[in-house]
A and B are shown apart, each in its own frame.
Chain A
Amino acid sequence: MPKTKKQSTHLPLFILIGILLVVLSGMVDELRVYQGASIAVYVIAISSIILLTGYSGQVSLGHGALMAVGAYAAAVLRAEFNLPIILCFVVAVLAAAIGGALLGAAAARLSGPYLAGTTLALAIGLPSLANQFSILGGEQGLPFDVGFPPLALGQDFTQYKWYFWIAALAALICMWTTRNILSSSFGRSWRAGRGNEVAAQLAGINTARSKVLAFTISAGIAGLAGAMLAMTIGTVSPSAFPLALSFSLLTGAVLSGITTLGGVIIGAVVLVAIPEIAVSVTDRLGASESVTTNLPGLIVSGLLILTVLFVPNGPVEQHRARKAKHEAAVSNTKK
């Protein structure tokens, strides 16, 4: 049973983690630092799915598209108006959030496969729109340059390290905010609506509004992730947001535990690690070109199926459930 006393915001914990990451980034090589940045991006993106799907029970296959909205918003502002980078990130969040609000309003009436299919259509349709408008850069896309690290950090401070610091900071802020949102009354009303919508309505929760709110917030977070992704790649283009990205996010969320915000890091690490593992496996086996390029996709998809089958609620939740079952059995035999 959740305690009703005011839960702490855990701010000191996050600050501590931040300091740890700063220290770590100085100790590892460039490749790892870059991967760290990618992991941070996934952390942000996956938490948006956990909020929407795990807590609010709505399946979206279009979060890749929402990431694209955020990324393009940031890139356009930067390329056309050269606005300060912080502002670009903020706009990314807002633009994606607006998109999410619209999508959520349309989605409030849908559930299950209907919602999934609609967002699927969006995921396929939206990125291709970029090809039509020259301001969005067409096929090649737009550059997104966050600029060099400030001189105050020293001559040896690399670009990738800068990316990592920005992404990690964004991830920490995002996680802290999300955590607090989820443990607030919003989080509770989402969980209530997910479990039994009629009961929730009877309890006075405006489920339609809370669903739209969930979509809006989730989209905003995805937009931030998109902008971060653009930062690490240096450009935005339709090919950076394929359907596979939306699937990867879903996979990451399921791996983390669809309701376990704390498990996000698991999903993010796995998603970043898979291409590497795939490459080393195919190198060792000396496999053909077509196997190499397709193995990561195969592993991700296969992992998704296996996880949903055998660890459906995520490793953390599974462990908790197993413990609870064990404790119940022990106390039963005591009777």
Chain B
Amino acid sequence: MSLNVSNLTVHHGAICAVNQVSLAVPTGKLAAIIGSNGAGKTTLLRALSGLNQPTSGVVNWMGETITGQKPEKLVRKGISHVSEGKSVIPELTVRENLELGAIWRKDRKELNQSLDEVVAIFPRLGERIAQRSDTLSGGERQMLAIGRAIMSKPKLLLLDEPSLGLAPLVVEQIFQTIRDLTIQMRLTVVLVEQNAMGALKIADLGIVLNLGKVVAVNHAQALMEDPAVRAAYLGY
């Protein structure tokens, strides 16, 4: 198990957003966290990447306790977080946004290689490489955000609602790309989504969060067939 979370509790002021959450994600697997709005999914992710300080609990990555460490440090340990909504800096060009992902890396020579890799995965970014990022469509921005995360050579990828606000066809593409990346780059992925169906389809493991608590954990396939889950989140 490369990612191990034990009894994690995170508060938003006086409100308990994440309540004694425990989960484990094996190396190289994709875990989908689903649940309705306000379930605490984003807060959970932010606690994993260091943006929010947990009130209590332990987070373990690759055997090392990383609870409460700052994002600047965790990036260097291979943890990349693509946050919800605006994860791209509109005033910078596509190239600059990508370079941002690699800015902490010491291996300057392999930077261009990484850039080529990302462009190979997202050719549209290559076409627009010199343009300002605010000229990109929603789907392209999401690709750029993921591309930037890849530039930091992650081993753990945290994705917060990548499908938000995107057209169905684009959503399909993005999900497929995420699945491919997980396999090709041997990433461990935690995918938070409101689009439960799409997320579970590409996931190995599924976790259902409600009001800050884990209410179900299972193989993704099993969750998709679970009648309670289907009724609540899959709409059938």
Which residues on A are within 8 Å of B, measured CB to CB?
A: 328-329, 332
In the assembled complex, B169 has its CB within 8 A of some CB on chain A: no
CB nearest neighbor in B for A328: B14
Q: Which residues of B contact A (CB under 8 A)?
A: 14
Which residue in chain A gives the minimum CB-CB distance to B15?
Answer: A332
Q: Closest 3 interchain pairs by CB? A: A332-B14, A328-B14, A329-B14
Contacts of B14 in A (CB 8 A): 328-329, 332
Distance in angstroms from A61 CB to nearest chain B CB is 29
CB distance from B212 to the nearest CB of A (A): 15
Subset of 3 A-B contacts with CB under 8 Å: A328-B14, A329-B14, A332-B14
A332 and B15 alpha carbons, distance in the complex (Å) = 10
Nearest residue in B to A329 (C-beta to C-beta)? B14
A328: B residues at CB distance < 8 A:
14
Closest Cβ of chain B to A330, distance in Å, is: 11
Residues of B within 8 A of A329 (CB): 14
Nearest CB on B from A51, distance (A)? 32
Q: How far is the CA of A328 from the CA of B14 in the complex (A)?
A: 9
Provide the bound-state CA to CA distance between A332 and B16, in Å. 12
Q: How far is the CB of A206 from chain B (nearest CB, A)?
A: 29
Residues of chain B contacted by A332 (CB below 8 angstroms): 14
Q: In whole angstroms, how far apart are the Cα atoms of A4 and B210 in the complex?
A: 38
A329–B14 alpha-carbon span in the complex (Å): 8
Q: In whole Å, how far is B13's beta carbon from the nearest beta carbon of chain A?
A: 9
Bound Cα distance A80, B163 (Å): 74
Please, how many angstroms separate the alpha-carbon atoms of A329 and B15 in the complex?
11
| Cα separation A329 to B11 with both chains bound (whole Å) | 14
Q: Distance in Å from the Cβ of A54 to the closest Cβ of chain B?
A: 25
Q: Report the bound CA distance from A194 to B168 in whole Å.
A: 38
**Min distance, Cβ B55 to any Cβ of chain A, angstroms:** 14
A261 to chain B: closest CB distance in Å? Answer: 29
B99 to nearest A CB, angstroms?
30
Closest to A332 in B: B14
Least CB distance from B15 to A in Å reads 9
B113 to chain A, nearest CB (A): 43
Q: How far is the CA of A285 from the CA of B235 in the complex (A)?
A: 79
Shortest Cβ gap from A312 to chain B (Å): 18
- State the CA gap A159–B63 with chains docked (Å): 83
Q: How far is the CA of A168 from the CA of B14 in the complex (A)?
A: 46
A38 → B minimal CB distance (Å): 43
Chain A residue with minimal CB distance to B14? A332
Could you tell me the distance between the alpha carbons of A332 and B11 in the complex, rounded to whole angstroms?
Answer: 14
Residue of B nearest to A325 (CB): B14
A329, B13: Cα distance in complex, Å: 11
* CA–CA, A332 and B14, complex, Å: 8
Q: Once bound together, how far apart are the Cα atoms of A320 and B14, in whole Å?
A: 18
Give chain B nearest CB distance to A89 CB in angstroms. Answer: 50
A247 to B14, CA, bound (A): 38
A332 to B13, CA, bound (A): 12
- CB of B17, distance to nearest CB on chain A (Å): 15
Nearest-neighbour CB distance to chain B for A311, whole angstroms, equals: 21
